[in-house]
Every structure is written in structure tokens, then in C-alpha cells.
Amino acid sequence: MKLIISSISGQPIYQQIEQQIRDAVLSGELVAGQALPSLRSLAKELRISVLTVTRAYNELAQEGLLENIQGKGTFVMSQGSERMHEQLLEQVRTNLDRAVNAAMQADVGMDALHDMLDQAAGANPTATG
């Protein structure tokens, strides 16, 4: 995972780090149990304060996405975490809302949209019914 920090975005750096890590966890790029870079190494790599990285990691730990283990590091929580589950459900709802809106704009009926969803699920070997 490569984090990209923008000093001109207007968004605080710790929030940029949070969002990129959150997106990587929810997309599956970072998997349960995977270690994140140490506070010092990430701060050095991004050329920012260790306190900034600490704040981002702590915020994500409070959300239930990361776990800080004293003396070992910071790790991605398992997807069994209730907070992670809520985040994933929210992502599904948002994406479904977008799909329904796009289908309505394209004059695609609900039956056709259901067929597309079934096809997408069939093309994804990890999808379950």
C-alpha cells in the first residue's frame, strides 16, 4: 500500500492517511492480521510527524479497523469486527444506491438490474448467495 499525501488538498494529513488506509482495508488491499508500517517508519517515509501518524492509527483503531498491540505494532482487524462489518455494509448500500440511480438514468428496469447483479456475483468466485 502506497500512501499519497497532498499538502494542498485542504484536508488534514492525518485524515488523508486515515481515508487511504480505510479504503485499502475495505477494498481488501489490506487484509485481516496484516501489519501496517511502524509509526516511525511511516512518518519518515511521508516526511511528517510521528504524532500525525499516531493520530491516524488511533482514530482507525477507535473505529475498529485497526488494532494497536503494545510492543508489536498496528494490525488490520479481522473482518469479523462489528465496526468493520458496519463499514462494509455502508459501502454496499452506497454502491447499490449509485447503481440504482445510474440504472434509472439509463432507463434500465429493475429486472435487468437484478440480472446484472446476478451476473456480477457469478463472475466473482468469492460472492455468496
Single pTM value for the model: 0.66
Distance CA 117, CA 99 (A): 10
Is 13-76 in CATH node 1.10.10.10?
yes
DSSP string, 19-67: HHHHHHHHHTSS-TTPBPPPHHHHHHHHTS-HHHHHHHHHHHHHHTSEE
| Residue ranges per structural domain of the chain | 13-76, 82-123
> Could you read off the pLDDT of 41-97 as tens digits, one per residue?
999 999 999 999 999 999 999 888 899 999 999 999 876 566 767 777 888 899 999
pLDDT digits (tens, 9 = 90+) for 8-50: 989 999 999 999 998 898 788 999 899 999 999 999 999 999 9
**Ramachandran angles phi, psi of 103, nearest 5°:** -65, -40
Q: SS3 for 7?
A: coil
